[in-house]
Structure 1
């Protein structure tokens, strides 16, 4: 019986799904607006007035908790969506790792 259970478990893989690494999440979810380097020098970034995350002053203007909340819940200003919410797509651990990755973009 144990062998059958082990065979079934190996077929379905691990029970805890591991999320994508932060660089992959950045490329898949953030780069269209913030660009590959975080400077927001993209057409979408310019249209939405996205923050230049390479700028040390801008990076110091928000906490990790604020960055995580923006990623999870999105950003709306004057009723206009400035950044989509990714809380339904990314886990809390993935968001935390993404915030840490954003901090590495500062020049």
Structure 2
């Protein structure tokens, strides 16, 4: 058939282009997601350094003078890490014992990001 060869190439070309476009969109979504996650991680790290490092130390160990004086918890320990996000968010928001409350100093989103950041301490010795 005279038009069959052209039609086969046309269908093949459409499939190839569709495949390329589909993969490009997927790649773009993955890159944007990774960049967003990295930015959130960086923002949470900056927030931790600004608000928490004085008592909890850079590594979450609470091995600082203020941490020892206030009885700050080692954020790396299983007892802390096993707490639910809601519990940790509540502690950061309302404070606990000598830990100050941050409900008026931080947005709810920032507190949630801090809790997610602290979860990363469970993987460190």
The TM-score, its normalising length taken from structure 2, stands at 0.62
Name the counterpart of 1:36.
Answer: 58
Moved runs in structure 1, 4+ residues, more than 3 A?
none
Q: CA–CA distance in 2 between the matches of 1:96 and 1:58?
A: 15
Aligned residues between the structures: 82
Instruction: Provide the C-alpha distance between the structure 2 equivalents of 1:71 and 1:28, rounded to a whole number of angstroms.
Output: 14
Q: CA RMSD, aligned part only?
A: 1.3
- Structure 2 residues not aligned, in runs of 5+: 1-41
Measured after TM superposition, the shift of residue 55 of structure 1 is 1.6
Structure with greater Cα Rg: 2
Q: 1:69 to 1:57 in 2, by over 3 A?
A: closer
Whose helix proportion is higher, 1 or 2?
A: 2
Report Cα offsets for 1:4-46 as digits up to 9, x if no partner.
xxxxxxxxxxxxxxxx811111001000000000000001111
Higher strand fraction (1 or 2)? 1
What SS class does the counterpart of residue 45 from structure 1 fall into?
A: helix
Counterpart of 1:85 (choices 74, 86, 101) is 101
Following the alignment from structure 1 to structure 2, what is the Cα–Cα distance between the partners of residues 56 and 33? 19
| Gap regions ≥5 residues in structure 1 | 1-19, 77-81
Higher relative contact order at CA 8 Å, sep ≥6: structure 1 or structure 2? Answer: 1
Structure 1 residues 94 and 55, CA gap change in structure 2 (3 angstroms): same
Alpha-carbon distance between aligned partners in 1 of 2:43 and 2:61, rounded to the nearest angstrom: 21
Structure-1-length-normalised TM-score: 0.72
